[in-house]
A and B are shown apart, each in its own frame.
Chain A
Amino acid sequence: MLWALLVVGVALALDLVQRPAVPEPAQALTTGDPAIDVSRLQRVAQGDIPMPEGARAAHASSLLVMPPTQAAALTVFWFSGERESGPLVQIAASQLDRSTHTWSAPRVVANRHVLGVQLGYGVRRLGNPVAWLDAQGRMHLFVVATGWGGWAASRVLHLQQSSPQHTLESLAFEPVGVLPLSWLWNTSHLVRNAPLPLADGGMVLPVHFELGLKYPVVLRMDAQGHFMGMQRVSARTHLLQPTLLAQSPQQWLALMRDERPHGKVGAAVTSDGGRHWNDLPDLALDNPDASVGGMAMASGQLLLVHNSSLGSRARLDLSHSRDGQHWSLLATLANGAPLDEFSYPALAWADGSLWISYTVDRERLAWQQFAPPGDAAQKKMQGKTP
């Protein structure tokens, strides 16, 4: 009896000594100047992000705000290749110069063959990348990497910056590992939307499961990017690709894509920093089974980019809200013919402006810049619109 308890005690001690300390409850950060009224933002510039030579497909951009010491204000990552889910798809990146507001020529920063060698096992396809800057200023990429099968066989591959410099010419990544998220051969979780930054330097990464049914999950990372656990966001099984918006340090909204025909933007809320979530009624906003992207501002206002045309992704809107339930249209970012597609938005606040990138017809990426009225006039006079 005594020796049995001794074995258990030794095992427990050995286990605990290897673990990090249990983190404090998560406290989210917001972005931007608290004095900014987002309802008055004006579009000041727009254009296309340069594509890699010969690439016929581009999708799922992720915007990363660079440290103020860097020449680049933003880095955008996306997957690029001959077609979505094609064997030649790689993760490409481009940087927005802070002074000229021009995008650099793109460069490939992750290739599945190289990753396969580094991991010791194969990666069949690459998909959505999501970028994050840790407390040391080191970039991390979370990339959808499939096993045997399509997107439903996806895993979330965690990469971290291995190059000392942030400049695009030298930017390189190495794998940290595949995040362990499921017992079933670690399928089928995907990442899509930007992480929610935390006051402790860590973040909360929204992901989702999509083998047959769909449900949203959040993952917590510490300030160095170490995995700190997972929580399911919704009891419903038709919601995916959550985007996280902090209404206060511990009250966050998750707004989600609805895979059902004639769906609405789904919603869930946490009041304890992501430890427990409750479903909310759907928003009034239509959702044609399309990814939404959101951002919470320091003023307490919320921004959401969403497709509002039922049955197609031909219209992409920017809306704002104060309570997360009632949304008002701020601008229509794109509106095309029914078969056109403007989708998978990403948002970032950098250099006093809102930057939005999105996919156009799965062939290229476009961007738009919005600024407060005073700044908008000044930025327009600079003639930066290509």
Chain B
Amino acid sequence: MSLLAQIISTEAPSLPALALSTLWLHLGWAVVLAWLVAGVGRWTGVQRTVQWGLAAAIALWTCVPGPYAPGYWLGLAFQALSISLVVLCAWSFYRRYAPMPALPRKNPPDLPDRPASGVLVLAGIFLGWVLLLDAFAVFPVALYAWGFSPAVPVAILLALLLPWALRKGNGAAASGVPLVVFVMLAFVALRLPSGNAWDALLDPWLWLALHVIGLRRWILVRP
């Protein structure tokens, strides 16, 4: 079988082991819930240490196995989260609570200061709509199944890295390219959350959040 046939084949998926996917499910929800709780704490004006404490408590509670913890029920309803959403929340949480000298806001590190740029927000919204419609068999081909092919992560990496390389990295951090590259590399290495590249890149919660972000930006920038 030729290399090209292997790359485009959807018939040889590699799925994560149950133990790893279960660990990811709990870890992912723990990070996102911690970020949410901390955000609510900041919004309500509670002390920074209390925000941090609440976030840590919810994260630990989510990782507790069994039906008395949120991870059990969130997994029942929504399964595991995408790598993208978990990394975004972890990054946002880190920026919020890390010691400021380590992360000067004027010099963004590898991951973006504003992680979701306009282009990526629009791309994520568009991709989510396509995957949603695909779930209802609107298209003549099954796009979700393509996510089991090596071609999807390779195509995404090429589409992001080549323009970046041609521009010698200018503007890459702000455009969120490193985030998506990291997500795809993590997927390739770990197969999380499901062995399907689309699930690693975007989940329905992130897709809904992108709608809110996109709408907010549109309201802010319109004349």
Residues of A bordering B, CB below 8 Å: 1, 3-4, 7-8, 11-12, 14-16, 18-23, 116-117, 119-124, 147-148, 175-178, 180-186, 209, 211-213, 215, 220, 226-232, 235, 237
B125 in contact (CB, < 8 A): no
26 contacts between A and B (CB under 8 A): A4-B164, A7-B185, A8-B157, A11-B154, A11-B185, A12-B150, A12-B154, A19-B6, A19-B13, A19-B150, A22-B1, A22-B6, A120-B25, A121-B22, A121-B75, A121-B76, A147-B78, A175-B18, A180-B199, A183-B144, A185-B203, A229-B12, A229-B145, A229-B148, A231-B142, A232-B137
Known: A15-B150, A122-B67. A147 touches B77 (CB 8 A): yes
B137 lies within 8 A of A215 (CB): yes
Which of B150, B181, B204 interacts with A184 by CB under 8 Å?
B204
Known: A15-B188, A180-B196, A227-B13. A116 touches B136 (CB 8 A): no
A117 lies within 8 A of B189 (CB): no
Which of B78, B191, B203 interacts with A18 by CB under 8 Å?
B191
B14 lies within 8 A of A20 (CB): yes
Closest to A121 in B: B75
A180 lies within 8 A of B164 (CB): no
The number of A-B residue pairs with CB atoms under 8 Å apart is 162
A124 lies within 8 A of B76 (CB): yes
Which of B14, B65, B131, B161 interacts with A120 by CB under 8 Å?
B65
Known: A185-B204, A229-B145. A14 touches B188 (CB 8 A): yes
A183 lies within 8 A of B135 (CB): yes
Known: A180-B194, A183-B132, A229-B145. A120 touches B71 (CB 8 A): yes
B9 in contact (CB, < 8 A): yes
B198 lies within 8 A of A183 (CB): yes
Within 8 A of A (CB), among B58-82: 65-67, 71-79
Tell me the complex Cα distance, A12–B11, Å: 16
B162 lies within 8 A of A4 (CB): yes
B72 lies within 8 A of A23 (CB): no
Query: Taking the nearest CB of chain B, how far is it from the CB of A102, in angstroms?
Result: 37
Q: Which residues of chain A are within 8 angstroms of B10 by Cβ–Cβ distance?
A: 229-230
B72 lies within 8 A of A122 (CB): yes
Q: Which residues of chain A are within 8 angstroms of B46 by Cβ–Cβ distance?
A: none
Query: Taking the nearest CB of chain A, how far is it from the CB of B220, in angstroms?
Result: 30
Q: Which residues of chain A are within 8 angstroms of B75 by Cβ–Cβ distance?
A: 119-122
Q: How many residues of B contact A (CB 8 A)?
A: 64
Q: Which of B76, B140, B199 has the most CB of A within 10 A?
A: B76
B161 lies within 8 A of A8 (CB): yes
Which of B14, B74, B148 interacts with A121 by CB under 8 Å?
B74
B204 lies within 8 A of A183 (CB): yes
B136 lies within 8 A of A16 (CB): no
Tell me the complex Cα distance, A212–B12, Å: 30
Known: A22-B6, A122-B67, A213-B136. A186 touches B12 (CB 8 A): no
A12 lies within 8 A of B15 (CB): no
Tell me the complex Cα distance, A98–B20, Å: 41
Q: Which residues of chain A are within 8 angstroms of B204 by Cβ–Cβ distance?
A: 183-185
Known: A23-B12, A122-B73, A186-B79. A212 touches B136 (CB 8 A): yes
Closest to B82 in A: A183
8 further interface pairs, Cβ-Cβ under 8 Å (given A120-B25, A180-B199, A230-B145): A11-B154, A12-B150, A19-B150, A117-B65, A121-B71, A124-B76, A227-B15, A232-B137
The 4 closest A-B pairs by CB, nearest first: A121-B75, A122-B76, A120-B22, A180-B194
Tell me the complex Cα distance, A148–B65, Å: 19
B209 in contact (CB, < 8 A): no
B135 lies within 8 A of A229 (CB): no
Closest to B157 in A: A8
Q: Which residues of chain B are within 8 angstroms of A16 by Cβ–Cβ distance?
A: 6-7, 150
Within 8 A of A (CB), among B1-58: 1, 5-7, 9-15, 18, 21-22, 25-26
Query: Taking the nearest CB of chain A, how far is it from the CB of B85, in angstroms?
Result: 13
Within 8 A of A (CB), among B158-207: 158, 161-162, 164-166, 181, 184-185, 188-189, 191, 194-196, 198-199, 202-204
Q: Which of A120, A176, A229 has the most CB of B within 10 A?
A: A120
B12 lies within 8 A of A21 (CB): yes
Q: Which residues of chain A are within 8 angstroms of B13 by Cβ–Cβ distance?
A: 19, 227-229
Q: Which residues of chain A are within 8 angstroms of B113 by Cβ–Cβ distance?
A: none
Closest to B78 in A: A185
Known: A178-B79, A182-B144. A121 touches B25 (CB 8 A): yes
Query: Taking the nearest CB of chain A, how far is it from the CB of B136, in angstroms?
Result: 6
Tell me the complex Cα distance, A322–B11, Å: 31
Q: Which residues of chain A are within 8 angstroms of B164 by Cβ–Cβ distance?
A: 4
Q: Which residues of chain B are within 8 angstroms of A231 by Cβ–Cβ distance?
A: 142, 145
Q: Which of B11, B12, B65 has the most CB of A within 10 A?
A: B11
B124 in contact (CB, < 8 A): no
A232 lies within 8 A of B142 (CB): yes
Tell me the complex Cα distance, A108–B136, Å: 35
Closest to A2 in B: B165
A183 lies within 8 A of B137 (CB): no
Within 8 A of A (CB), among B68-109: 71-79
Within 8 A of A (CB), among B119-148: 131-132, 134-137, 140, 142, 144-145, 147-148
Tell me the complex Cα distance, A304–B139, Å: 31
